Structure 1
């Protein structure tokens, strides 16, 4: 598809015409230097950053809108022989690229953006102390030059401060582009942990402008994410589809007081949500030939979301029949409850009885809005057009 290239000023005006008036940052990719990407974006990220910031400058908005590269915390670290924040440096394999990026950000008075996920520390290391992932204090804090670190968020952030200082940019502004906790898809991903990490601990810390030992005071932080994404890649783990503070239907999962005062209140959920009829798809109780059950379950989960069935997840406790019913129902709902989507070679049947279990919800899909889809398509196209223009300059 051919894309018409617009001058940067026209793109900015196009954004304003569509009600997008409060843009502070333009993200150039997302975590492009992840080690799992095998250097795929190492040589293209910095040129893209330059192009986008230059386009913003040309459009006359470079003073108020900054281009930045959201990076994963794996771009820096401390040596194994001295694993403390003050020893932080950038990875040796990307030290040249990181130096270029940091210098360019400094020249344009743009912030360094980092994504910090305490949950991933638990996920990556089964021996990682659970209490160190939160903000309640620990029995054995890390001591670094007289400073005691009692949580991984502060230690991680200050490791970055030290890495920037090692390059001569110790005062560079840092924003946390993503921080959050998934609510399903892993033994450590649940609503209780997410509520504790976010609403009951992190937000009060931020509201109090406590900062970190090396950066006391205000820190600009963005919560991730807004809503669950049932089609997101699960290559990193099943939890990837469950970062939302809202469920798939726009309803809050747990209490969260954004003021940081720890009041027991919920965020305002989506209004006037319409659901499909109260119908579920389940394994037939009289099914006898189960020889094709496994392949039908696999089919259902391939084209829907069965991550809640994984080890340690919310529906992990179901028996074999329950697993089959959960898979069949997820596919049935994704397909808009079409009659033919609850057959599975005669193994399934539709029921009007809620087959949810105490710790496992069998959801009902929401009604799709054609008008919303149309508006979303326009926004997606506009975003794609904008990125194309910026990257082509």
Structure 2
């Protein structure tokens, strides 16, 4: 088998074979995806500011309280969490009985504030203090509460005027002030989890960049985290990327196997999609002037049913490989040796969850709803070490024949940026792209690079229309532009528009 080749060859090969059956001799990353369908709040934090680790990583688990027809008694739930070997638990809301069950357990505990309370706290420090007095202070003597997660995925919301966006940091400041008033700010940190849609670019990871429309607010959030010694929290779901295009994405890349599924970004080699997602966020934060903010994964996991790529075996393989990666303490290519902290989503199946995104929403648990285990997990550091992937030297690849007709020179030159734009739209942009892998589309009969640009235009325009036609949503690093008439090559693609503007690949305009 021919293994990893140069990144340039990989990208060109994928452009030529775009949305065709994946050939195992080359691959590239499709980074990344996010879980906007997650619960109304998420979390993570740490009382430690350290970003280094000489041992294995730290693995927690989220515990849902409200979406099961057979809720498990809090005492038994805590026993099962400890039996699994998790170090921490994340709650989506404060809960007295659960706090009581967690008392003396040795587990770190994080709770949350929902999005609909942000405006209230932002304008009223007294309300924030009242919330801390009711939900945090009474339990800290016996329960190891270490964090408050404020809101959930606020930066990624696009519907209407996002009042929560501008209330987020003021609400965090108010809650931090309330913790200071109760002398709890040293042990209880305030943070806010974001899905990966806050990124305008994520491939290669060094190109990571925050969406222009939210850069100011993201900078304020990072400044708060940096000043208070908290962590940036990311909800990362390789599952959603793989679900959207399993034939085009390397399974090895998704399941931490590296090898021919990996890719290089300069001198750094990426053997897993998750590492690329994390490093893309780090690169984006660096560009805003915050290179050292620690990162915790607030949600990451894999469902065991409800989709073609969601089986019990898939969940066991991904979560097992994830835990091996976390406990190895190897960090990411950009931060080697800095162990990644994460909360696995989630402890138990929840059969009453909204299944709008898919039936898999009921099956994220590592245990069934009745508490029984689905598959083994080994959280002992180094028990099954995952070696740091390294590029494998390969013979010079045989040039791929260029299909006829001759590719458009302009789109040929822009091939890489067009590919990156489509990857982002179909990944973090959450655009439905399943039909782009079908035959008989409006791109049939075009040259390979023009075909790629046409498919990218379909994806980018869908994203632009979903984002309320905001001009800043048709940038894609210069790969796209707004047009008032559809280019002839796109005439049969059925591009929709409610304002007479379309977002298309710049090389087609």
Report the TM-score range of the alignment, normalised by the length of the smaller protein: 0.5 to 0.7
* Match of residue 362 from structure 2: 241
* Cα distance between partner residues in 2 of 1:248 and 1:122: 25
After TM superposition, the structure 1 = structure 2 runs for residues 186-265 of structure 1, keeping only pairs within 5 Å, are 186-199=307-320, 201-217=321-337, 218-262=339-383
**Superposed displacement of residue 146, structure 1:** 1.8
Of residues 8, 11, 14, the one that matches 2:138 is: 14
Q: Which residue of 1 aligns with 2:224?
A: 104
> Hey, what's the Cα distance between the residues in 1 that align with 2:312 and 2:382?
20
Question: Does residue 167 of structure 1 match 2:288?
Answer: yes
Residues 211 and 60 of structure 1, relative CA distance in 2, 3 Å threshold: same
Deviations along 1:248-272, one digit per CA (max 9) or x if unpaired, are 1001111111114558xxxxxxxxx
Following TM superposition, the consecutive aligned residue runs of length 4 or more in structure 1 with deviations greater than 6 angstroms are none
2:258 counterpart (122, 137, 158) = 137
Aligned partner of 1:156 in structure 2 is 277
Cα distance 1:230–1:38, how it changes in 2: closer, same or farther (>3 A)?
farther
Whole-angstrom distance in 2 between the partners of 1:60 and 1:8? 15
1:44 equivalenced with 2:167 (yes/no): yes
- 2:149: which partner in 1? 27
Check if 1:178 corresponds to 2:299: yes
Mark the runs of 5 or more structure 2 residues left unpaired by the alignment.
1-125, 385-509
Q: Which residue of 1 aligns with 2:195?
A: 72
| Pairwise CA distance, 1:238 | 2.2
Does the 8 Å contact 1:9/1:60 carry over to 2?
no
Answer yes or no: is the 8 Å Cα contact 1:28–1:67 preserved in 2: yes
Cα 1:9–1:131 shift into 2, 3 Å = closer
Question: Structure 1 residues 91 and 206, CA, compared in 2 at 3 Å: closer, same or farther?
Answer: same
Per-residue deviation, 1:29: 1.5
Q: Deviations over 1:197-254 (max 9, x none)?
A: 112x121222221110011221211111011111112223322221110101001111
Q: Which secondary structure does the structure 2 equivalent of 1:175 belong to?
A: strand
Change (3 A) 1:125 1:9: closer
Say how many residue pairs are matched: 255
1:128 aligns with 2:249: yes
Q: What secondary structure does 1:33 align onto?
A: helix
Instruction: For 1:72 and 1:248, locate their aligned partners in 2 and report how far apart those are by CA, in whole Å.
Output: 26
* Structure 1, unpaired ranges of 5+: 264-393
Aligned-CA RMSD value: 2.3
Matched-pair contact (CA < 8 Å) for 2:137–2:182 = no
Give the direction of change, closer, same or farther, for the CA distance of 1:122–1:203 in structure 2 (3 Å limit).
Answer: same
CA contact (8 A) 2:200 2:212 kept: no
Larger relative contact order (Cα-Cα within 8 Å, sequence gap ≥ 6): 2
User: Whole-Å Cα distance in 1 between the matches of residues 145 and 283 of structure 2?
Assistant: 29
Cα distance between partner residues in 2 of 1:39 and 1:123: 30
Secondary structure of the equivalent of 1:26? strand
Q: What is the DSSP-based 3-state SS (H/G/I as helix, E as strand, rest coil) of the residue aligned with 1:222?
A: strand
Distance 2:166 2:356 in 1: 24
Q: What is the CA distance between 1:77 and its match in structure 2?
A: 4.4
Distance 2:148 2:318 in 1: 27
SS of residue matched to 1:44: helix
Deviation (angstroms), 1:36: 5.5
| Deviation of 1:16 (Å) | 3.8
| Cα separation, partners in 2 of 1:246 and 1:35, compared to 1, 3 Å | same
Separation (CA, whole Å) in 2 of partners of 1:31 and 1:129: 27
Structure 1: distance between partners of 2:132 and 2:309: 47
Scaled by the length of structure 1, the TM-score of the pair is: 0.60
Over 3 Å counting, the alpha-carbon distance change for 1:50 and 1:236 in structure 2 is farther
Q: Distance in 1 between matches of 2:309 and 2:132?
A: 47
Contact 1:138–1:151 (Cα < 8 Å) also in 2: no
Q: Distance in 2 between matches of 1:52 and 1:87?
A: 34
Query: Does the C-alpha gap of structure 1 residues 156 and 30 become closer, same or farther in structure 2, counting only changes over 3 Å?
Result: same
TM-score by length of 2: 0.47
1:338-357 aligned within 5 A: none
Q: How many Å separate the matches in 2 of 1:214 and 1:153?
A: 13
For 1:86 and 1:231, how far apart are their aligned partners in 2? 40
